[in-house]
């Protein structure tokens, strides 16, 4: 399929990595559906503006709370109503709660699993018939935390382990429909709002130091993650499916060797 004709839906695209992903696809000429919380309409509008400046022929903005099934139905329905097709679903939206087994609450558990697990699987279900028509693909946002012990990230790590299983299951189940599914797995990306907004400066410095790689002496950037996602979603990756691609400068390798 020609890049200029692709329709890409990116969740959690009002800020952070999601915004960077949307801007990257815009440079390739893709039409976009971008989405964020109703409280993030201003941020969403700014991302849409940049995407149009970057070359996207059409940017649809949909305010949606992914904890609500009706909002996800609206998101998919508006995408298809507007563009008539879907070629790429990027399940990027995610939240971080910073608790261990002694400090988490049931509310914390429900909140993070609702956004990080229930939303991707439901949107994947909604996307299947549309992606079957375009022989499109899905890219999920995972994390090396699925295999990396970090005590206060118990719930977050559990959700990313679920994302890994969803990715491989989807790849196997959807292969006969011509749909690929992969996941990208970053380490620390200290420049994102999800990181800067949830933990103290002291903890930020600790994880930034822990995320610095020997390869480059720095953490992974948003643009590097965006580049990888666009590659996995492209025709250059037609034989890649069911993969969890780490983008961490070798951090996980060094920690598990």
67-112: pLDDT as tens digits: 999 999 999 999 999 999 999 999 999 998 888 899 999 999 999 9
pLDDT tens-digit profile of 207-227? 555 556 566 667 778 999 999
- Reported as half-sphere exposure (CB side, CA atoms, 13 A), residue 75 has a value of 33
The whole-model pTM stands at 0.90
Which of 104, 122, 156, 208 is the catalytic position?
156
**What does the CA dihedral 47, 49, 54, 56 come to, rounded to 10 degrees?**
90
* Residue 207 annotated as catalytic: no
Strand partners, 246: 185
CATH architecture of 3-189+222-248: 3-Layer(aba) Sandwich (3.40)
Q: Show me where the domains of the chain are located.
A: 3-189+222-248
């Amino acid at each position: 399929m020609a890049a200029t004709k692709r329709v890409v839906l990116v969740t959690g695209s009002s800020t952070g990595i999601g915004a960077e992903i949307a801007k990257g696809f815009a440079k390739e000429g893709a039409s976009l559906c971008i989405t964020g919380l109703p409280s993030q309409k201003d941020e969403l509008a700014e991302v849409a503006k940049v995407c149009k400046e970057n070359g996207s022929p059409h940017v649809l903005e949909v305010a949606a709370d992914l904890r609500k099934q009706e909002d996800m139905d609206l998101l998919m329905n508006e995408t298809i109503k507007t563009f008539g097709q879907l070629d790429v679903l990027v399940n990027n939206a995610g939240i971080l709660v910073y608790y261990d087994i002694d400090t988490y609450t049931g509310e914390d558990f429900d909140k993070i699993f609702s956004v990080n697990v229930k939303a991707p699987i439901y949107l994947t279900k909604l996307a299947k018939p549309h992606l079957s028509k375009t022989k499109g693909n899905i890219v999920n946002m995972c994390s090396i935390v699925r295999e990396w012990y970090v005590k206060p990230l118990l719930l977050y790590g559990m959700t990313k382990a679920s994302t890994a299983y969803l990715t491989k299951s989807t790849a196997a189940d959807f292969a006969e429909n011509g749909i690929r599914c992969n996941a990208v797995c970053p380490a620390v990306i200290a420049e994102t709002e999800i990181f800067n907004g949830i933990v103290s400066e002291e903890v930020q410095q600790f994880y930034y130091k822990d995320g610095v790689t020997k390869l480059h002496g720095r953490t992974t950037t948003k643009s590097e993650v965006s580049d990888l996602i666009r590659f996995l979603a492209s025709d250059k990756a037609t034989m890649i499916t069911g993969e969890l691609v780490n983008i961490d400068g070798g951090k996980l390798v060094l920690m598990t060797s």
